[in-house]
Amino acid sequence: MTTKNTNITAFKLVDFPEEIDNKNNIKLYGETSWENQLAVLSHYLHNNTFNDNIKEEIVFAIREFLERKKTSETKDIIDDYITNVAENPIEYNLFSEFFNVPFPSPKESKFTFIDLFAGMGGFRLAMQAQGGKCVFSSEWNKYAQKTYLANFGEMPFGDITNEFTKRYIPQKFDVLCAGFPCQPFSIAGVSKKKSLGRETGFKDKTQGTLFFDVADIINRHRPKAFFLENVKNLMSHDKGNTFKVIKETLEELRYSIHYLVMDGQNYVPQHRERIMIVGFNRDIFHGNEQFSFPKQKETQPKIKDILDPNIDDKYTLSDKLWNYLQNYAKKHREKGNGFGFGIVDLNGISRTLSARYYKDGSEILIPQGDTKNPRRLSPRECARLMGYPDRYRLNQVSDVQAYRQCGNSVVVPLITAVSEQLVKTLFSNSSHE
């Protein structure tokens, strides 16, 4: 009989059918993608907090995996052993790859949080640094999912607008984190509906935008606090009406709101302004929380501090691309526009890194002297520019996808600084008075 040290990895071979046990009529509720099964399984292995119905999915999914493997290296596994392993996967050292990661959850957690629109996991790094344990993550991009899995041992669930996905969120958790995308939405119909006597409260507004999926989750689960991040322009979009609706919606859910536009340049050598929105549950804190955003640092990092001394020539711009960028910039200067490339002062900071950086690198170009064309940042340097440590794994995806993920990410040390203040407030005795 095989011992408990059997190490069977699920990373390459999980391929569950729609029905994994006809005799017991256990179905996987129609979601049978490899990514979704890894999400279900990895969340269970790390948290073991799903309800009984979902636990049945896990038990039968693991059993099916072992049955499939039984024909190769695990021929001596018998039915009783399969049942024992399926019900105690951690004890039997199954799927150890989920735990051999650079950023595991803290062994003793102080609070729980969920990570929505998780991307590369910048919020997760920040909250884990405060002693938080992530009990649910969601990210729709399959490449970002791979990066997240490689670093945290957890495959995020997919589309958070899907009710199937939402049912995996634990009923209770302390903090909701979301760098939600800014989708334009209209409130033009509200006044008309009021005149017709129709409902125009929270439920009426929750159509068509990702923010309202976040608000819906807040409304259902009532966490103690939330931490949202978005682009600076969120405040001015639609003449301020967009942010007004967001703020009013959150306040309507009985949360007190704190917000501030902060620049990442005091934490990393990059000009990157983002709005931070922190909220506390009025049913718990009664609006008396003593929260304040961290003070901006006086010191400023330099771009030269994140550069590799020996860089591959593949990051140097070709003559064709370099000539194109120069001609493009010249054409727009003549028209009085400011469009063009950005050569970085090595003793200064860069422009804002964008998700399109992979196309030509034009917003952040590193000078290489008069005899050599400038170059792009490497993906590793982009990760440093966002505040990710070097042990963070980037090689699960192509350079193109790594560039996109960095450009869409949060500035980790800035999010960490705000998270520290949030968690201090969460545990402050004065906040409950």
Helix (H, G, I), strand (E, B), or coil: what is residue 271? Answer: coil
User: DSSP characters for 273-336?
Assistant: EEEEEEEEEHHHHTT-----PPPPPS----GGGG--SS--GGGBPPHHHHHHHHHHHHHHHHTT
**Per the residue annotation, which of 134, 177, 182, 382 is the catalytic one?**
182
Residue 253 and residue 218 in contact, taking contact as beta carbons nearer than 8 Å: yes
The number of angstroms, rounded, from the C-alpha of 421 to the middle of its chain's C-alpha atoms is 20
Helix (H, G, I), strand (E, B), or coil: what is residue 114? Answer: strand
On the CB side of 171, CA atoms within 13 Å amount to 2
Residue type, position 242, single letter: T
Q: Ramachandran region of residue 336, left (φ > 0), alpha (ψ -120 to 50) or beta? A: left
Q: Would you say how long the chain is, in residues?
A: 433
Residue 420 and residue 205: Cα distance in Å, rounded?
A: 32
Q: What is the dihedral of CA 302, 388, 120, 367, to 10 degrees?
A: 30
Residue 366 and residue 385 in contact, taking contact as beta carbons nearer than 8 Å: no
Residue 46's nearest CA partner among 170, 133, 141 is: 133
Q: Which pair of structure tokens corresponds to residue 424?
A: 């201090």
Helix (H, G, I), strand (E, B), or coil: what is residue 229? Answer: strand
Q: Is 134 a catalytic residue?
A: no
Residue 386 and residue 406: Cα distance in Å, rounded?
A: 7
According to DSSP, residue 344 is labeled P
Residue 169 and residue 160: Cα distance in Å, rounded?
A: 10
The residues that are catalytic are: 182
